[in-house]
Amino acid sequence: MIEQKWKQQATDFLKGKTVSAVRYMSAHEAEENMWDQRPLAIFFDDGSFIIPMSDDEGNNGGSLYTSSEELPIIPVM
């Protein structure tokens, strides 16, 4: 199943990582990606990172939905 394949790849990539830094993408970084939005970028201690996108094609940065009652959405800038 394709879902199982992607789930396993995401698990292998994310499991056990420690967040080392969190910041919004800079205006320069967004411009380099031809994005109008500046999403939150999450960096891990092994040098890897995740950045939400609006779609699979990377057309723009995206917001994050969270499980927090105080911060249910982390918006794009």
Report the predicted TM-score, pTM, of the whole model to 2 decimal places.
Answer: 0.88
Residue 72's pLDDT is 94
Residue-wise pLDDT for 21-63, tens only, equals: 999 999 999 999 999 999 999 999 999 999 999 999 999 999 9
pLDDT band, very low/low/confident/very high, at 14 (cuts 50, 70, 90): very high
Residue 23's pLDDT is 98
Ramachandran angles phi, psi of 39, nearest 5°: -80, 170
